[in-house]
Structure 1
């Protein structure tokens, strides 16, 4: 069994981005800019935003966080997004989800300029991903693909089972795998007999937020396990959706939690923001 080390790969990617930012700055006299909207006081969301800010600082990006109260109006968020769409110093706009119940999340995501949609959630970018065109891809699935590539794991023709069908992870993950010529199956909360499906997987990718959902008897020998889940156990430890200790004995590769997919998500956000900055710089020439 070999660990797929997302922490090490993300550090390697950050080093590359630092060098590219220096080059970008010397050519354009500007730096990539990322703006984040954070609504409310959710501790997990605040922690994620803080991690993203620190990552921006490490690679030399300009970053700004718009912190808004829980009872913010739809109109106020929309005004802020329009302002950021028009701001030439901002290359990427990130809406930290989930948003409060009074906010129409779909409308908010659709308001972001697709060329600044570094989270890859705008229907324009979702559509381009579906048909295999270049665009912005959601950071977590993109990070998984980078991790598989780093370890020279060939996806073509493999049976890939994605557990979880969210718009943020499951569906884009399936699209990326399909575009890489894998045979893809998606399982979700209404799937009957999950084990029957997971036992088929050459590559099993799980992101549903259920501790120890995937157990040793649900995985075939030498499978590749990508644990996208992140949960806090009763003892305070961060754990994934896979029973790591027991499943690791059977598989050929596995991502640890923490230190697997998580750091790759942040690295891909930086990568997407740099891509947007380069695109905007070309448009200004």
Structure 2
């Protein structure tokens, strides 16, 4: 068996095109572009690259971006103040706080300073509760992007056994909630799960989101299973042993080119959605 590739680059391109059409309509109707504010603390090279990429994509689809860059020694209070100001700014539709922030900052406090209507990255407790209860709200962008990618390939989820390897509040936990809402039976695992291999072998859908290179071995994959690798490690290596897993899986995401493009596309779509809702 050789797995079908879940091509996030191709699917995201379609999503960006529809987002650009909505952005143009919004601009025509209101006289301004939907605006995403990005907040970056410190000078971490990877974070700087991600933020630049997101700003570039904003411009390409007709959104305006506003950059707030703060020094690495910024305090929690100062960051909360900046984020709160953006939450109160009527010209800002969405707020992205690039994470992780420096270790001395209370990241959760900073996230919670984002107004729910501008939480287009889906990082607040309000957004998580909306995902868990099936209420209207913004999805965490990577989990939401994963579901959109699976939908594009018409991957059935109802009644399937899904294993999520990872428990972060902005990836592992919310993707489990979204899968549960699609009537999948969800098991959460992580790097300390006893006999992780046994849990993965039973899964019809595997979402790897733990941030450890090739933690999920190819030989663990159930024949025909759907494998979504949401990890990214140095050297373009995901959390799944890709080559071996692709020989057993029915569907698989590449790294890069799978989940990553969907994350950015959903961020921009939700920014336009926030602008439309406010208007």
TM-score class normalised by the smaller sequence:
over 0.9
Among candidates 253, 256, 270, match of residue 254 of structure 2: 256
Moved over 3 A (4+): none
User: Which residues in structure 2 correspond to 1:1-285 (within 5 Å)?
Assistant: 1-232=3-234, 237-281=235-279
Distance apart, 1:103 and its partner CA: 1.5
- Over residues 214-244 of structure 1, what are the superposed CA-to-partner deviations in whole Å (9 max), with x where a residue is unaligned? 1122111111100000011xxxx31111111
| Structure-1-length-normalised TM-score | 0.95
CA distance in 1, matches of 2:206, 2:104: 36
Gaps of 5+ in 1: none
CA distance in 1, matches of 2:257, 2:268: 17
CA distance in 1, matches of 2:209, 2:80: 30
CA distance in 2, matches of 1:190, 1:82: 37
- Aligned CA RMSD, in angstroms, stands at 0.9
CA distance in 2, matches of 1:82, 1:193: 44
SS at match of 2:211: coil
Gaps of 5+ in 2: none
Q: Tell me the matched-pair count.
A: 277
| Structure-2-length-normalised TM-score | 0.97
SS at match of 1:279: helix
CA distance in 2, matches of 1:165, 1:208: 7
Distance apart, 1:12 and its partner CA: 0.8
- C-alpha contact 2:127 2:140 (8 A) present in aligned 1: no
